[in-house]
Structures are given as structure tokens and as C-alpha cells.
Structure 1
Amino acid sequence: MNSKDALILRTAREVIRKEAKAVGGLSNALGRDFCAAVKILAASRGKAVLVGIGKSGLIARKIAATLSSTGTQSVYLHPVESLHGDLGMISEGDTIIALSYSGETEETTKLMALLSKQGLKVISITNNPASRLALASDITLDLGVKEEACPMNIVPTSSTTAMLALGDAIAVVLMRLKGFTSDKFARLHPGGNLGKLLNIRVADLMRKGRLNPVVKETSPLKAALKIMTATAAGAASVTDARGRLRGFFTDGDLRRHLQTGSFDLNIPLSAVMTRNPLKVYPETMAMDAARIISERKVDNLPVIDKKTGRPVGILDEKDLLREGLL
């Protein structure tokens, strides 16, 4: 490794160590004030209004977004714009969360003075518990950051990381207190990869109808091969006389049969199929089915109706790969 690379890595590691130290110190310092702040937010009849400017404003935006996506209605309010009409965003019952490293940011402290007069609860996140912002707040959460990660100890680095971590902690605690479930999360995230993970079910991806290979257990092996070829599937569901799933016949079962030295294609499927196979249901979450396929190292799964036990589809790993679930 040359000297330049060594300097790059040494500096990067030092930044991460300093920021990790700041977050670790914050974790150890959490106490009654944090609990009180969370209780205020949990009991609030209104929304959380995040306030901050500059780097603190960017973190405030992110915290507002995280709270909104995890069941706590939230908005971001720019301190300057608030003094020019945006105060109309604030309603009775709202809770203010104000972020400022110094606690002396002019625009933020001026806004807090106005809001406190309206009887709104104010929670401040600052590194200066003796600041004007802290004094105007009902509860102050002290970051306790001793050192920024930049060599000049000026650029907001450790402090903004600590702010972000504290905001995430508030959001996750509120999720638990409010009983925010994955179903609720899914409704708020219908798009993107999160949407796929939380909204897509096996019924949305399974092959059905003519593309679902099903044969009776009394049928010869060659009948399974014929329908598997016709449907381009690597397996077939095997049913009893009443159409209920009895087994699953796969390419692997065929190979194991041939390895015995037998090339009899008229042997009944009941003699070579996999009995009591893994299975899923149409209402199974696709991500759960993907986990089964990955952990059990199989390529296909029969999809059966819970009430009748009959195969209604087949799920192929290619379908999951196409959706980015594997």
C-alpha cells in the first residue's frame, strides 16, 4: 500500500471512530429526558414538526421523513419560511422538535419564542443545554458531542451523526409504543424494493392454470416429464384421486431415479416423487417464500389452497429473481 492510500484509509477510519464514539456516548447518556420526550410525542394529538436550518435542517428533514414512514405524522418546517407564512402548517396539539448544534441559531430561536407562546410542546436537540433554544424548550436532549470528526473540529460531522441516530431512536421507540406493524409499513411503502418485499404475495407471482403442472400419483413418470416440458417448469405437483397434493416431482427426483440404474419411464409417480414436500399458500408473502427457496436450496414450490389442499399454482425461483426478491 502506498503512502497516499494509507493516508486515505487512516483518515476515513478516524472519522468513523470519532462518529461512532459520539453515537456511543449519546446511547449511554439517554435517560429521563429522552423518555419524557418520547411520551409527549406518543400522546400527541397532532403531528411532529421538525425544525432546523443548515446541516441541522437537513437532518431534521430526514427525521421527519422517518417518523412519517413509521406511523408518526410529521412535517419539516424551515425557520425562515415559517416567519413568512409557513406557520400555517402548525396546528393545535402539534409537538415541535427543534435541532441546532449551538442552540443559538437566530432563526430557530426566534421561531421557538413564538411557538412557546402558543402553548405548543417544544423538544430541542442541541449540544448546548444552556442555550437560548434549550431554555425555550420543555425538554432538551443533549447530544453531548465532544469532538467533530473533521481535523479542524468545525465541520458538522459527529454532531449531525448523533442527531440522526437520536432521531432514529425516537422513531423506532414510537413504532413499538404504537404497535406499528409490517402491514402498516407496507401500506405506506407501496413502491420500490420495500414495496415488493412487503406487499407482493405468492398469488401475485405463481404460475397457474395451464402453466401449473399437475399430475396424478398413479400416472407414469413419463406423464410428468411431458407436462413439465410443456409448461417449462422444473417440477410438477402430484395429487391423489381427490386432487389433493400428495407429493412433488422434480428434476432432482428424476436424476435420483436414473442413478438407480432404472430407465423405466412407466413407473408410477408415487414411487419416485418427494412425499410431504415443502409448500406455500397464495396468501404467503413472497419474501417468505423466497426465504424458503434460498434456505432449503430448492428451485420450485407447490402452491396449495389452504382449505382444499389442492395445488393452485407453482412458484419458480426465476419468478422471484425477476422481481429482485432473490
Structure 2
Amino acid sequence: MEAPLNVLETAKKTLQIELDGVSGLLSKLNNDFVVIIETILQLRGRVIVTGVGKSAIIAQKIVATFNSTGTPSVFMHAADAIHGDLGIIQDEDLVICISKSGNTPEIKVLVPLLRLAGSKLIGMVGDVDSYLARNADLVLDTTVEREACPLNLAPTSSTTAQVVMGDIMAVCLLESRGFSSSDFARYHPGGTLGKRLYLKVSDLYINNEKPKVRPDASIREVIIEITKNRLGAVTVLLEDQICGIITDGDIRRMMEKYETTARLQAKDIMYNAPRTIESDELAVNALAMMRANNITQLIVLEAGIYKGIIHLHDLLREGII
């Protein structure tokens, strides 16, 4: 099936309507918003986020963002709430109820039950004259002028506004708490983002061998040491003093430069200003150094003492790249 001739025009029009809906939130951020953020910051319980239909899906996204940025949250479907799930709510919890119309049957049943239980109720609503807005303690106004749907029916601009409002809240909360990159890593230990924030060079190089030769080592000894340890390089040491590094590339360049290698020693072909990194540095910093210098290995030091080599493959294996 061929795309309609005006597909790009429709796409741009849709995007513009959604952009207008989001930009309209600027004028709707009022004192209620500030009070809501302050209330959540002082909360001893959790934030319960609820809704029905598309708003329920948005609620789940907001809960995920809150939890990952330090605000304990739980999703509760509004329809399930009135059939037993109200038990999710504890005495010191706060409820955010999301609804475009604020007048759906589930909301009209749920709100009185929340009020009866004494729960603090925040309404994120697209109609400030709705049942939900009138009965909420505080209101987050996500009203949009129109949906991007040409029939002005399918939730599009309105759900985008809800997502953005949730993100605005999450960012305000994390900044108010002084949420740091180390906090983020604590909540994301299994993902690539988390690894980039907590994985250190010391976690990786210890799995490798510790290749080394003396400056007067023969080229045969150098090649054997590089081959044996499979790191593509060997560190040249005089006692505990680092003199240089020899890589696979240095071996190839040596073969191009010299007709015979019988009298050559490690010191003759080594690079005498090798890149090094301390073991307590983040692995992502090792990656940055490798990229900046177009190399695949770094010599690892601990208080200036040679400890081993970290290779680009170590970072690939951990998903850092």
C-alpha cells in the first residue's frame, strides 16, 4: 500500500500540534506544582500513581521514572483499585490520579474511596473543571487545546503532555534531593548506563594476565610474551620502573623497518611514553582515553606501580561501548 502523498505534511502537522500542547504546560506550572513537589519531598510513604486506559500506561511510565530517580512509587490501575487493589495504599502514601477528562466512571468511583481513606490526592487532569479536579487536594493541569488526531479523539497531545509533566516532576524531585550519578548507578546496577557510572578499571584488568619483559629482552621473547597473554601488548619494565610498551602494531612496524631482527631488543622498538590509567578510575574513562589516542590498551597503575593491562575487549565484553 502506497503512502498518501501528503504524509510528510501530516507528520509535520501532528508534531506541531504536540509541540504546542507541551509548550502550553509552561503557563500551567503554578504554585500547586511547587506545593506538590514539596509535599512529595517530605513524604514518608510512597507515591501511588493511577489511571485508566492510556492514562494508566502513562502512569506506569511515570512510576518507572520516579523509582529510577529516587522517588519510591507504585502503579495502581484505577479499575483494579475499586475491585480490591486499594489495599496497595498505605497510611502515609500520596496518590496521583491521571485522567484527561477527569470524569470517567472509574475515577468517579475511586475518588470518594480515596477521600474516605484520607489519602492525599493529586489530580493530573486535562479539564480543570472536571470531577477529579474539583475533588483533588492539588491539581496538575495538563490541558491541551486539541489532540493531534485529525478527529480530535485519540489521546495523542494529551498523553504527551502527561508524560512531560511526569518528567518535569521527576527532574525537580531529583534536583531537590541532590540525586547524583552514583545514586543513578545504584538504581541501575544491571544496565549499561549503570556500568558506565560504577564499573572501575580494577574490576576488569584483574581478569587479564600481567605481560612484561625487560628492556634487554630479545624480540623472540617479546613476541612470545605478547602471544601468550593475548592482550596485543607487553609492558617493558626495568625492575618496577615502566620504560615503555610494545604492541602488535610495533612488531609489524619493526618488520617493515628492519631486514633482520636478530640483534634488536625490546628497548629498540618500544614506545617510551605509554598511556597509563590508575586502577580506581572508571572504566568509561579508560574508554575515553583509548578513543582519544586511537589505541586499544592502557597500562594500569596503582599508586604508580604497574598492575596490568586493560584492553578494549574488556570494555566491549561489559557493554561499556
Q: Do the structures match in fold with TM over 0.5?
A: yes
What is the RMSD of the two structures over their aligned residues, measured on CA atoms?
2.6
Partner SS for 1:152:
coil
TM-score, scaled to structure 1: 0.87
TM-score, scaled to structure 2: 0.88
Alpha-carbon distance in structure 2 between the residues aligned to 1:221 and 1:311: 22
> In structure 2, what residue type is equivalent to 1:130?
D
Equivalent residue number for residue 217 of structure 2 = 219
Out of 298, 318, 321, the position equivalent to 1:323 is: 318
> Does the 8 Å contact 2:184/2:194 carry over to 1?
no
Count how many residue pairs are aligned between Structure 1 and Structure 2: 321
Alpha-carbon distance in structure 1 between the residues aligned to 2:105 and 2:285: 51
Alpha-carbon distance in structure 1 between the residues aligned to 2:3 and 2:38: 50
Structure 2 gaps of 5+ residues are none
Q: How far off is 1:264 after superposition?
A: 4.7
Q: How far off is 1:237 after superposition?
A: 1.9
Residue 238 and residue 177 in structure 1: after superposition, are their counterparts in 2 closer, same or farther (change >3 A)? farther
Alignment deviations for residues 11-55 of structure 1 (CA, whole Å, 9 cap, x no partner)? 233222221222222245433322221111111111001011111
Q: How far off is 1:149 after superposition?
A: 0.9
Alpha-carbon distance in structure 1 between the residues aligned to 2:188 and 2:207: 28
Identity %: 36
Equivalent residue number for residue 236 of structure 2 = 238
Alpha-carbon distance in structure 2 between the residues aligned to 1:315 and 1:265: 30
Equivalent residue number for residue 292 of structure 2 = 295
Could you tell which deviates more after superposition, 132-141 or 289-298? 289-298
> Does the 8 Å contact 2:233/2:248 carry over to 1?
yes
Partner SS for 1:274:
coil
Partner SS for 2:277:
coil
Alignment deviations for residues 190-247 of structure 1 (CA, whole Å, 9 cap, x no partner)? 32434543453333433656x3322234434553333112222222222232x24343
> Does the 8 Å contact 1:245/1:304 carry over to 2?
no
> In structure 2, what residue type is equivalent to 1:212?
K
Residues 264-275 of structure 1 mapped to structure 2, 5 A cutoff: 264=261, 266-275=263-272
Equivalent residue number for residue 23 of structure 2 = 24
Could you tell which deviates more after superposition, 185-194 or 309-318? 185-194
Partner SS for 1:288:
helix
Partner SS for 1:116:
helix
> In structure 2, what residue type is equivalent to 1:323?
E
Could you tell which deviates more after superposition, 88-97 or 47-56? 88-97
Alpha-carbon distance in structure 2 between the residues aligned to 1:144 and 1:80: 23
Alpha-carbon distance in structure 2 between the residues aligned to 1:10 and 1:151: 13
Partner SS for 1:10:
helix
Could you tell which deviates more after superposition, 175-184 or 121-130? 175-184
Alignment deviations for residues 260-312 of structure 1 (CA, whole Å, 9 cap, x no partner)? 6685564454454334432233333333322322233211112222x3x2332
Runs of 4+ with >6 A deviation = none
Alpha-carbon distance in structure 2 between the residues aligned to 1:171 and 1:128: 23
Residue 163 and residue 266 in structure 1: after superposition, are their counterparts in 2 closer, same or farther (change >3 A)? farther
Equivalent residue number for residue 134 of structure 2 = 135
Partner SS for 1:184:
helix
> Does the 8 Å contact 1:222/1:266 carry over to 2?
no
Alpha-carbon distance in structure 1 between the residues aligned to 2:241 and 2:116: 70
Out of 231, 242, 245, the position equivalent to 1:248 is: 245
> In structure 2, what residue type is equivalent to 1:121?
K
Q: Does 1:61 align with 2:60?
A: yes
> In structure 1, what residue type is equivalent to 2:237?
T
Equivalent residue number for residue 285 of structure 1 = 282
Alpha-carbon distance in structure 2 between the residues aligned to 1:244 and 1:126: 68
Partner SS for 1:239:
strand
Alpha-carbon distance in structure 1 between the residues aligned to 2:300 and 2:82: 59
